[in-house]
Amino acid sequence: MQSNRIFIKETPHHIGKKIVVKGWVRNRRNHGKIIFIDLIDKDDIPLQVVFTPGIKEYYELASKLRGEDVIKIEGLIKERPSGMQNDKIPTGKIELESETIELLNKSRESLPIPIDNDGYDINEELRLKNRYLDLRRQRLHKNIKLRHAILHFIRNYLSDREFLEIETPILTKSTPEGARDYVVPSRLQQGKFYALPQSPQQYKQLLMVAGFERYFQIARCFRDEDTRGDRQPEFTQLDLELSFVEREDVMKLVEDLLIDIVKKITPEKTIQEIPFPRLTHKEVISKYKTENPDLRKDKTNPNLLAFCWITDFPFFEKNKEGEWTFTHNPFSTPIPQHREWLLKKDKINEIITSQYDVVLNGFEIGGGSIRSHTKESLEAVFEILGHNKESIKEKFGHMLDSFTVGAPPHGGIAWGLDRLVAILTNEPNIREVIAFPKTGDARDPMMGSPSEIDKKQLKELGIKTDK
C-alpha cells in the first residue's frame, strides 16, 4: 500500500538506513551551500532534511521548495552531529541526508491563511472557507486526534460492557425535543417531509422494546435553532440507553466512563471531586442562580475539571400562554414517588422528573432520564401538554403501541460530545473541535451551503419558493 514509505515518527529507528518519506515542507533554510527543510506528515513531527549540491537536478528542486509543497524523498538517516541535537522532539537526534527528491505537488505561492500559528486571530469566515488548510494547523490536528481518541475509548469501553452500537435513521419524523426541525422534502410522497432527528430518543427507546437492552451510538443530531452562542445546527451526541435500570445505574455508568476518559485520554487534568457532587434543581438555583454551575475552586487552572450532577427538576412548567410544557424530556417518567400523580394528572406543578443532567465547569454536557415505558404514562404526559387523544395517536402511536408488546423499564442519557471535547482540549468554542463546522448563522462558506437548487429539482419535489 505504502510501498516502502515510512512515517516520520519511525525514522529514529532507521539510523544508518536508506528510507523513503513523504509529506509537506514546513520551512526551508539555506546555510551557504547546504539547504535544510523540515518535512512533516500526519503526525506533525518535523524531520530535518539536508540537501547538498551533489546532483544538480535535485539540488535545484530543493532550492525552490516552499512551505506546503508535497514531496517524496529518499535518503539516508544519520545521527546529527552532537551539539546540533534537539531533545525536545522525537526526531531531534537525527536528520535525513537526501539522495533523490520528487515533487508530488507544488503549493501556491501565498497561502490564503497562515497555518504556522494557532489561528485564533484569523477571521472565521476565511478560516472556514479554507477549512481544509485551516485544519492542517497543528492545533486542529491535535484537537481532531484527541476527539478520535475519546470516541475510540468510548466505543471500546461500552462494547466491553455488552453495549451494541446501532445506527438509527437520519431521515425521520419530527420529534418534540424542544427545538425546530430541519426538514427534507420527499420526492416520492410529494408535499410530505422527513425531519432530521433532534436526537435518536424514540428510536433508542424502540430498540429497548426490541430487546437489545444496551444500546449506544455516536449520533449526529440536528436542531434548527436561532444563533445562540456556541451552538451548531448539527452536533454529535454520545447517545445511550439501557433496559432494567434505575436512575442510579445510569448515573454510575456515566460517571465511571467520564472518569476513565479523563484518566486515560487527558491524564494532565484533575477531577476536583469524585464521586461527582450532586445537587437538586432547587439547591442549584437557590445557591448558584443557574442550572449549570461552575464549581471549580480555582478557575484560573485550565486542568481542573469540576463535574456535578443536577437532579430533581420539575417535570412541567407553564409557558407564557399559561399552558403546561415539559422542562426537559417528555419521554421521561417522574421519580417513583410521583408516578401516581402523573397518571392521575394530580399536583402537576409538583411532579419531579427522573431527569439527571451532568455539568462540567459550568456547561451542561449531558442529560438523561428513566423513561415512560407504559402507554398510560406516556399518554398522561402528552395529555398534560395539551394534546388530545387523536393527535397523541397520530404523532406517537408507534411509541404507545410498542409499549403494549412487552416494553421493559428503561433509561439512558446523551452527552454533547463536541462540548466535552472542547473542554478537554481547553478550547473556548466547539467549532475548534469539529472538522467541518458551520458559521454562527448556519452556513458552510467552503461548500457554499445552504444553496439554491435547480428549478428542475424543485419541480421534482413539487416545491415552489417565494424567492
Binding-site ranges for ligand ASP (CB under 6 A):
177, 199, 201, 329, 367-369, 412-414
**Cβ nearer to ligand ASP, comparing 368 with 437:** 368
Number of Cβ within a 10 Å radius of residue 343: 14
Q: What is the DSSP string of 28-88?
A: EEEETTEEEEEEE-TT---EEEEE-SSSHHHHHHHHT--TT-EEEEEEEEEEPPTTS--TT
Alpha-carbon gap, residue 144 to 435, rounded angstroms: 7
Q: Which is nearer to ligand ASP, 62 or 351 (CB)?
A: 351
Q: Minimum Å distance from CB 414 to ligand ASP?
A: 4
Helix (H, G, I), strand (E, B) or coil at 217: strand
Query: In whole angstroms, how close is the CB of 423 to ligand ASP at the nearest point?
Result: 18
Minimum distance from CB of 201 to ligand ASP (Å)?
4
Between 10 and 234, whose beta carbon lies closer to ligand ASP? 234
> In this complex, which beta carbon is closest to ligand ASP, that of residue 143 or of residue 353?
353
CA dihedral 254, 259, 261, 265 (to 10 degrees): 170
Grid cell, residue 33, equals: 551551500
Specify whether the CB–CB gap between 414 and 240 falls below 8 A.
Answer: yes
- Looking at beta carbons, which residue is closest to ligand ASP? 199
463 CB contacts (<8 Å, ≥6 apart)? 185
Question: What is the closest distance, in whole angstroms, from the C-beta atom of residue 391 to ligand ASP in the complex?
Answer: 21
Smallest Cα–Cα separation from 49: which of 40, 103, 57?
40
Q: Which is nearer to ligand ASP, 412 or 437 (CB)?
A: 412
DSSP 413-428: EEEEHHHHHHHHTT-S
The nearest distance, CB 199 to ligand ASP, in angstroms, is: 3
Closest distance of CB 376 from ligand ASP, Å: 21
Q: How far is the CB of 332 from ligand ASP (least distance, A)?
A: 7
Per DSSP, the three-state class of 220 is strand
* Residue number with CB closer to ligand ASP (151 or 461): 151
Q: Which is nearer to ligand ASP, 130 or 354 (CB)?
A: 354
Q: Report which of 269, 273, 271, 241 is spatially closest to residue 254, judged by C-alpha positions.
A: 241
> For residue 342, what is the enclosing H or E element?
helix 339-344
